[in-house]
Amino acid sequence: MKKNCRIRKRREFVDIAESGFYFKSRLLVVQSKVNQLDSIRTGFTASKKVGNAVVRNRCKRRMRALADIILNDIGCAGTDYVFIARRDTALAEWGALLEEAVRAVNFLNKKMTAQCVQS
């Protein structure tokens, strides 16, 4: 995933949270929203509830790796995805985390496709 396709501004995170779709699980939360670009943009966040700085950085590294693997295959072009860490994200088994992320992205893609058809 290219670094210039990252969501970095707080206003963009808030906009996706307010008007996009979301998928919550025990291991992570994924939010998505259609953007006006032809590329996939990603954002990653971990609050202080997740743990100290070392744990939060580990969670973000794991979520970046997930996004690199998953979004190249099943991500929809023209979509923003935000991955939010939970307490279990840092210690979860990689296979379980990967499975949850795939399930989340597939669910969100279906929700966005259904919304586009209705519009």
Query: Considering the domain 3-118 in this protein, what is its CATH number?
Result: 3.30.230.10
Nearest residue to 41 via CA among 9, 2, 11 = 2
Nearest-angstrom CA–CA distance, 110 and 44: 22
What are the boundaries of each domain within the chain? 3-118
What predicted TM-score, i.e. pTM, was given to this entire model? 0.91
**pLDDT higher than threshold 80 for residue 99:** yes
Summarised one tens digit per residue, pLDDT across range 46-97 is 999 999 999 999 999 999 999 999 998 888 888 999 999 999 999 999 999 9
3-state secondary structure of 79: strand
Beta-carbon-side half-sphere exposure of residue 5 (alpha carbons within 13 Å):
20
Inter-helix orientation angle 53-74/94-118, to 10°: 50
